[in-house]
Amino acid sequence: MKSKKRKAINIAKANLEDAKERGEDAMISWGDVKKELFTPEEIAASDLRVSIMAELANARNNKGLSQRDLEELSGVKQPIISRMEAGVTSPQLDTVIKVLAPLGKTLYVGDINVRTAHGTSMVSEHEKEYGAN
């Protein structure tokens, strides 16, 4: 098994050296890959999910609660909370609301250009990258 891993590392190193020799334009950014693989709508939806789950984790941490504490308060199992915060699941709306309520948070429908807690607007960032529709 170690020889397979070593071989993969050597191939990756060779590919990196090859890319360096060809110059910077040979490197592809994640933004370019995203544009090729996903529609602007899919990217915006993903960015929104990430933003919501990050806010959930921040709110929990700001309250000094563990995921187990939040499980007890919300009735949502800790492994589900963990997967939500890690972004490896797309929870149902009811589940998100159950987890947010003990944190003193809720979801609401509002103007899409409202600034987030981090001072950025998901849509304006999206429009910067893809242009307005």
- State how far the alpha carbon of 20 is from the alpha carbons of 11, 13, 16, 27, in Å: 14, 11, 6, 8
pLDDT in tens, 97-129: 999 999 999 888 777 664 544 555 555 454 555
pTM of the model: 0.60
53-79 tens-digit pLDDT: 999 999 999 999 999 999 999 999 999
Higher pLDDT, 26 or 94: 94
Q: What does the pLDDT look like over 3-32, one tens digit per residue?
A: 766 777 777 777 777 777 776 555 667 777
Q: Would you say 101 and 76 are in contact if contact means Cβ atoms under 8 Å apart?
A: no
In the chain, what are the domains? 39-133 (1.10.260.40)
- Alpha-carbon torsion, ordered 125, 99, 79, 42, to 10 deg: -30
